[in-house]
Amino acid sequence: MGKNKLAKFKENLEFKNLFQFPATISPWQAPLRGRWKESYFGNGNPVVLEMGCGKGDYTVGLARNNPGKNFAGLDIKGARLWRGCKTASEEALPNVVFVRTRAEFIERVFAPGEVSEIWITFPDPEPSKPAKRLCSPVFLERYRKILPEGKGIVHLKTDDTGLYEYCLDEVVKPAGYEIIFNTADLYAEPSPMGDASRFQTTYERRWLAEGRKIKYLAFKLA
């Protein structure tokens, strides 16, 4: 392991906006489960969760532009999360928190109905392991348990055509979920979802420069 990673892991221990439950630890119930709004954020604003947030670009960007909402970024890679934690700390953003844990543990981190929206931004397409995809039926059932009944919104943003078509044609449509907005080329038409759907990370700008089209799907887990 490189010295740079070790330094980041050490600094992670000092961040007040990071809660860690590494892969070897199962957070049977995170200390703030069911109390994120009042005990961490200190308000009653909605909590928006980004799954597999990586370096936290999207989580931080959404938080900057939406001070009336709380944002949580979840990922298992501590070295990646370091960047988001550091940026949010340096900018003193009060509406950002990061959680280091496995995606399967979200029900132990958030209580039923505690999260209002879920973003899945440029996830690993997992071409050979569909059940591991963050938009698979397995994960949607996990999301259903932490979203408000009949009202929770899931957003998928990806450059991977196979993943997009899988989520739309094999998961969302067969289940009869209400599609709010759907496009195979996000920047080719006006979006009713506002700036949130169009905020770009460093990697997304690079992919757009390479000519890749960004797919976007928003639907309700009703």
Which residues are annotated as catalytic? 124
Radius of gyration of the chain from Cα atoms?
Answer: 17
H runs (alpha helix) in the chain? 3-12, 57-65, 78-90, 106-109, 137-146, 161-165, 173-175, 195-198, 202-209
Residue 222: strand, helix, or coil? coil
Which amino acid appears at position 80 of this protein?
R
CA–CA dist 159, 135 (Å, integer): 14
- Which single residue is written with the structure tokens 């990061």? 98
SS3 for 126? coil
In the chain the first and final C-alpha atoms are separated, in Å, by 44
Q: Is residue 101 a contact partner of residue 74, using CB atoms and an 8 Å limit?
A: yes
Between CA 163 and CA 158 the distance in angstroms is 8
